Amino acid sequence: MSTDTPQAHAAKQVQVVSGITVRLAGDSGDGMQLLGTQLTNTSALAGNDVATFPDFPAEIRAPRGTRAGVSGFQVQFAAHEVHTPGDTLDALVAMNPAALVTNIGDLRKGGLLIVNEDSFEDKDLKLAKLTTSPLDEPWVENYRLAKVPMTKLTRTAVQSLGLGVKEADRCRNFFAMGMVYWLYGRDLDATLRFIQAKFSKLPDIQEANERALRAGWAFGETTELFGSSYQVEPATLPKGTYRNIMGNQAMAWGLMTAAHLSGKEMFYGSYPITPASDILHELSKYKNFGICTVQAEDEIAAICSTIGAAYGGAMGVTTSSGPGIALKAEAMGLAVMIELPLLVIDVQRGGPSTGLPTKTEQADLLQLLFGRNGEAPVPVLAARSPGDCFDTAVEAWRIATQFMVPVVILSDGYIANGSEPWAIPDVNSLKPITITHPTGEAGEKFLPYSRDADLARPWAIPGTPELMHRVGGLEKQDGTGDVSYDAANHEKMVHIRAQKVANVAKIIPPQEVIGPSEGELLVLSWGGTYGACRTAVLKGIEEGRSVAHCHLRHMNPFPSNLGQILGNYESVLIPELNLGQLRMLIRAKYLIDAVGYNRVQGKPFSVSELVEKIAEMTSGKQNMASSKLTSRAG
């Protein structure tokens, strides 16, 4: 709950609040992800702005009822713009003791704690490695506890259908959902439609889930347990048609759109890896869009097949996460040398090595910039939010084809699995991506390594008469592309490849800043920390601090006005979910003593920690600050 707090506990009272953060937590078999998605969609349909954070165990099916098996889904929905799923919870729904103890830390004092009291039996406690029930602990007093016998109530609701106990109990989650919907005044329709579609072949189950959902709602309305229900007004988002979108889905759709805009077939070579696999799954669905997906034997084959396809003229895309990206390094070098357009997408996760596969992190930036032998620069872009994956994918492909260069996109586990409302673009109104393949004239010598104004070489594709040529990983002679061991030529080519990437800066839109254009503090961020940083800076500004926010999409090359921007602030703070990777680049390039705020915990920043850091680094006196600045600039 962002600004307001509940005021009284009169039954059936409706409180209008500006926003709510709620987490649904239960066993991974309890369908928490499904519930969360339903609540998200319903809230979005109600016109709220929403942001989500699913958090599931690394195991496929960790043993039921254990702490390791807890699956959570957090949603913030609000009447204003939200950029994060929220720091602290206004409400926590805990389906079992393990879910309670592993999540209670995030519930704010006075927050609503709803538990399924039927699952606090001795055996449940034992599975959660507890000796006594947490519901009997004194600290429970800190929260508004609602003990609901969800299992019993659900069984009762579906009794007449004659289901087995197991099947009946599976409907519990919809009972919980019904309560939550009542609590926040959400409409049941979308979820009822979902149940109908999902269980259309199992009419009994469909009926049972519907009943459970309605029973939950009815229970909320009837019981005295909840002080009040809450109402969150629609947010005023820009005009348009919206849908909820997840990061990996937006990435896939962005890729499909880029292919469409450039009139290209897409060849997608990949190898499954968490948290990138859903891009493979998503793209595999759309064969009627002319998307060829190949699950290769490994990541090396994945990128190599993609390079082969690119040589043939297709839009080549490969995706992975850190460990798989490491395996692609050698082939990325080949793509740099043979100068073909290609997208390499890294959905980052906790590292090093296998690390924390289901957790988020931003620690692959330097790997993508430098993790190849020799001088092998490539443009690197980073998406900032689920919906932004769409735009980033389109822009990356635009760059790849204009400059004939492999381009890297960084996403991360947080963005990939998170979701947010997305203003659906009209594809027909998007700017086309223009690609030309040269044709040949008999008798004219073709120069595969000739250059256009951007230093791009021609993308001549097999099948074109007279343009037969050979490419490869050995150094190329300028122009002809023949193998060359010449010293001066090598240096020239190294510079051309570097300059070509540097040239991308010419088409990058100038970097924007939110907040004062000069002042005490600039928060410089990139990638998935966008939401937390933006929210924290806005809060800082609200508090009257001299702080601005600059969020980078372009990690290489940097926008050309970045140096100038950095010079306009007394300090620069770079929050990153790593040990300071962007910070190193900024310090090296601009020689400014940028300060890092670094967390490597496999989870996103909380807004409050950033707010605190900003407070620490600013005087809180905006006017004084700007006068100070004037004197400094003078």
Ligand X SMILES: Cc1ncc(C[n+]2csc(CCOP(=O)(O)OP(=O)(O)O)c2C)c(N)n1
Regarding 487 and contact with ligand SF4 (CB under 6 A), the answer is no
At 539, which helix (H) or strand (E)?
helix 530-542
Which of 220, 351, 413, 448 binds its own copies (CB under 8 A)? It is 351
Q: Could you give the 3-state DSSP secondary structure of residue 346?
A: strand
- Residues in 310-339 that interact with its own copies by CB under 8 A: 321-323, 325-327, 329-330, 333-334, 336-338
Q: How far is the CB of 357 from ligand SF4 (least distance, A)?
A: 14
Which of 352, 432, 462, 509 binds its own copies (CB under 8 A)? It is 352
- Taking the least distance from each CB to ligand X, the nearer of 251 and 273 is 273
Q: Which does 60 bind (CB under 5 to 8 A by kind): ligand X, ligand SF4, its own copies, none?
A: ligand SF4
Regarding 471 and contact with another protein (CB under 8 A), the answer is yes
Over the window 591 to 610, marking each residue x when it contacts its own copies by CB under 8 A and - when it does not, the resulting string is: xxx-----xxxxx-------
Beta-carbon count within 10 A of 446 CB: 17
Per the CB < 8 A criterion, the answer to whether 540 and 617 are in contact is no
At 125, which helix (H) or strand (E)?
helix 122-127
- Which residues are CB-contacts of 124 (< 8 A; sequence separation ≥ 6)? 65, 96, 97, 98
Strand partners, 421: 244
Beta-carbon count within 10 A of 101 CB: 18
At 629, which helix (H) or strand (E)?
helix 622-633
Q: Which does 375 bind (CB under 5 to 8 A by kind): ligand X, ligand SF4, its own copies, none?
A: its own copies
Q: Which does 289 bind (CB under 5 to 8 A by kind): another protein, ligand SF4, ligand X, none?
A: another protein
Per the CB < 8 A criterion, the answer to whether 254 and 393 are in contact is yes
Q: Which does 541 bind (CB under 5 to 8 A by kind): its own copies, ligand X, another protein, none?
A: none
Q: Which does 539 bind (CB under 5 to 8 A by kind): its own copies, ligand X, another protein, none?
A: none
Per the CB < 8 A criterion, the answer to whether 49 and 81 are in contact is yes
Angle at 620 between CA 615 and CA 624, to 5 degrees: 140
374: left (phi > 0), else alpha (psi -120 to 50), else beta?
left
- Which residues are CB-contacts of 41 (< 8 A; sequence separation ≥ 6)? 190, 244
- Residues in 309-328 that interact with another protein by CB under 8 A: 309-314, 316, 323
Site size toward ligand SF4 (CB under 6 A) is 2
Which of 60, 165, 197, 453 binds ligand SF4 (CB under 6 A)? It is 60
Q: Name the nearest CA neighbour of 573 among 521, 516, 615.
A: 521
Over the window 486 to 515, marking each residue x when it contacts its own copies by CB under 8 A and - when it does not, the resulting string is: -xx-xx--xx-xx-----------------
- In which residue are the tokens 């390079």 written? 307
Strand partners, 342: 406
Shortest-Cβ-distance residue relative to ligand X? 273
Instruction: Give the integer Cα–Cα distance in Å for 514 and 491.
Output: 41
Query: What are the b/e assignments for 559-578, b being 16+ CB within 10 Å?
Result: beebeebbebbbbbbbbbbb
Regarding 472 and contact with its own copies (CB under 8 A), the answer is yes
Over the window 398 to 427, marking each residue x when it contacts its own copies by CB under 8 A and - when it does not, the resulting string is: ------------------------------
Q: How far is the CB of 187 from ligand SF4 (least distance, A)?
A: 36
Instruction: Give the integer Cα–Cα distance in Å for 381 and 509.
Output: 13
Q: What is the CA radius of gyration of the chain?
A: 27
Regarding 61 and contact with ligand SF4 (CB under 6 A), the answer is yes
Q: How far is the CB of 594 from another protein (least distance, A)?
A: 34
Per the CB < 8 A criterion, the answer to whether 276 and 348 are in contact is no
Regarding 142 and contact with another protein (CB under 8 A), the answer is no
> Which one of the spans 104-112, 425-433, 450-458, 602-610 is the region binding another protein (CB under 8 A)?
425-433
Widest CA span of the chain, in angstroms?
Answer: 90
Q: How far is the CB of 185 from its own copies (least distance, A)?
A: 34
Strand partners, 55: 72
- Taking the least distance from each CB to another protein, the nearer of 127 and 565 is 127
Annotate 14-63 with three-state secondary structure. EEEECEEEEEEEEEHHHCHHHHHHHHHHHHHHCCCEEEEEEECCCCCCCC
Q: Which does 61 bind (CB under 5 to 8 A by kind): ligand SF4, ligand X, its own copies, none?
A: ligand SF4
- In which residue are the tokens 């300071």 written? 580
Instruction: Give the integer Cα–Cα distance in Å for 173 and 95.
Output: 8
Over the window 426 to 455, marking each residue x when it contacts another protein by CB under 8 A and - when it does not, the resulting string is: xxx---------------------------
Site size toward another protein (CB under 8 A) is 98
Angle at 456 between CA 452 and CA 459, to 5 degrees: 105
Regarding 416 and contact with another protein (CB under 8 A), the answer is no
- List residues near ligand X by CB under 6 A: 271-273, 299, 323-324, 327, 330, 354
- Taking the least distance from each CB to its own copies, the nearer of 163 and 344 is 344
- Residues in 267-286 that interact with another protein by CB under 8 A: 267, 269, 271-274, 277, 280-281, 284-286
Which of 34, 140, 218, 300 binds another protein (CB under 8 A)? It is 300
- Residues in 366-405 that interact with its own copies by CB under 8 A: 366-367, 369-376
- Which residues are CB-contacts of 625 (< 8 A; sequence separation ≥ 6)? 519, 520, 546, 570, 618, 619
Contact footprint for its own copies (CB under 8 A): 57-58, 68, 321-323, 325-327, 329-330, 333-334, 336-338, 348, 350-359, 361, 363-364, 366-367, 369-376, 472-475, 485, 487-488, 490-491, 494-495, 497-498, 578-579, 583-585, 587-589, 591-593, 599-603
Contact footprint for ligand SF4 (CB under 6 A): 60-61
